[in-house]
Amino acid sequence: MIKIAIVGGTGYTGVELLRLLAQHPKAELRAITSRKEAGTKVADMFPSLRGRYDLAFSDAADAELRACDVVFFATPHGVAMAQARELVGAGVRIIDLAADFRLADPGVFERWYKMPHSCTELLAESVYGLPEMNREAIRKARIVGNPGCYPTAALLGFLPLVEAGLVDTDHLIADCKSGVSGAGRKAELNLAFAEAADNFAAYAIGGHRHMPEIVQGLNRVSKTPVKLAFTPHLVPMIRGILATLYAPLKRTDVDLQALYEKRYAGEPFIDVMRPGSSPDTRSVRASNTIRIAVHRPQGTDLALVLAAEDNLVKGAAGQAIQNMNLMFGLPETTGLGALPVVP
């Protein structure tokens, strides 16, 4: 069994980790922390987990994190890097669902997250946790920076085109929509029901924190530097991301459908849909699947890619467990076989 702790387990990604780990045959949850909720039973806060967990939340200072095999950080940015040295020194592996170990350049991290990186020596060895790009490195990693929800959809959508050198990387566009759970479990006016319902709006138009993460990932596989226009939108639903991606083609004699089918052949969580398809968020809800459709709009030299995922699963907790499976030598799909929930 894999001995597991979750630091910061009261948010949406924390409870999603709990839901998925409850179905994992090799997972043994030893601790889950929350300073504010210390002493509260997990099942009292989340009745959906009644009968699955008898644990109570504990203060992080009292939790025996060093006795675990892996610690998931479902915390605000800055928490994981503050504890990483001690845990890694004790032989504990780390999967951070925040941004502390996603960006390789500490200067870029400081610019976008408004704090200096306090653990740069471990940042240098951390692995970006997108299995479809970094599977072998993840297997050996001591620290994994779990990708953001938007970057997961955008990177997997663009990846075959950029790897093959088929598109003009100066003019990539990612037009992405997310449900309100992507903002986290917090009280903010724009997330209130009366504000978000029956509404549709773009946000962070001047620059979103996930943009450098997408560019970093694409630059690793691109022969030329990537320039990206990325605009996120908030839509009145709870879960899901739909990314609509545009890339100017340098060649128009390529079978884009065959390119995507070949690149993602054998990938357990990527569904390349039939020609002419359009994935929707409901078709992936509560699953670790991402559905991708590729189009060539009539009369254009563009590739248009649609990617749909559940932002809390493949975009967060499910992908974190996928990474854990790789790190501990398990089949990648272990504990992640649940079908999407419809309706």
The domain limits of the chain are 2-125, 150-311
Query: What does the pLDDT read at residue 38?
Result: 93
Q: Where residue 208 falls among pLDDT bands split at 50, 70, 90?
A: very high
Query: What does the pLDDT read at residue 62?
Result: 87
* Structural contact between residues 181 and 12, judged by C-beta atoms closer than 8 angstroms: yes
Span 290-302, average pLDDT? 95
Q: Is the pLDDT of residue 155 over 80?
A: yes
Q: Where residue 130 falls among pLDDT bands split at 50, 70, 90?
A: very high
Query: What does the pLDDT read at residue 307?
Result: 98
- 2-125 topology per CATH: Rossmann fold (3.40.50)
Q: Where residue 306 falls among pLDDT bands split at 50, 70, 90?
A: very high
Strands 290-295 and 302-309: antiparallel
* The two three-digit tokens of residue 110, written as one number: 């400081």
Query: What does the pLDDT read at residue 303?
Result: 98
pLDDT tens sequence across 67-113: 999 999 999 999 999 999 999 999 999 999 999 999 999 999 999 99
- Is the alpha carbon torsion for 283, 285, 291, 293 positive or negative? positive
Q: Where residue 183 falls among pLDDT bands split at 50, 70, 90?
A: confident
For 97-137, strand residue ranges (E) read 127-128
Known catalytic residues? 149
SS3 label, residue 215: helix
Q: Where residue 326 falls among pLDDT bands split at 50, 70, 90?
A: very high
pLDDT tens sequence across 43-67: 999 999 999 999 999 998 888 999 9
More confident residue, 27 or 184: 27
Query: What does the pLDDT read at residue 334?
Result: 98
Q: Where residue 196 falls among pLDDT bands split at 50, 70, 90?
A: confident
* The two three-digit tokens of residue 275, written as one number: 């020609």
Span 123-139, average pLDDT? 97
Kindly report which listed range (166-170, 176-180, 184-188) carries the lowest average pLDDT score: 184-188
- 150-311 topology per CATH: Dihydrodipicolinate Reductase; domain 2 (3.30.360)
By CB atoms closer than 10 A (0-12, 13-18, 19+), residue 233 is middle
Strands 241-248 and 302-309: antiparallel
Query: What does the pLDDT read at residue 188?
Result: 81
Query: What does the pLDDT read at residue 17?
Result: 97
Q: Cα–Cα–Cα angle for 27, 31, 33, nearest 5°?
A: 130
pLDDT tens sequence across 249-263: 999 899 999 999 999
Residue 207 backbone class (left: φ over 0; alpha: ψ -120 to 50; beta: rest): left
Q: Is the pLDDT of residue 299 over 90?
A: no
Query: What does the pLDDT read at residue 192?
Result: 84
Q: How many CB atoms lie within 10 A of CB 114?
A: 10
Q: Is the pLDDT of residue 295 over 80?
A: yes
CA distances from 25 to 62, 112, 340 (A): 27, 38, 20
Query: What does the pLDDT read at residue 185?
Result: 83
Q: What does pLDDT average to over the chain?
A: 96
Query: What does the pLDDT read at residue 187?
Result: 75
pLDDT tens sequence across 170-181: 999 999 999 999
Give the chain's radius of gyration (CA, Å). Answer: 20
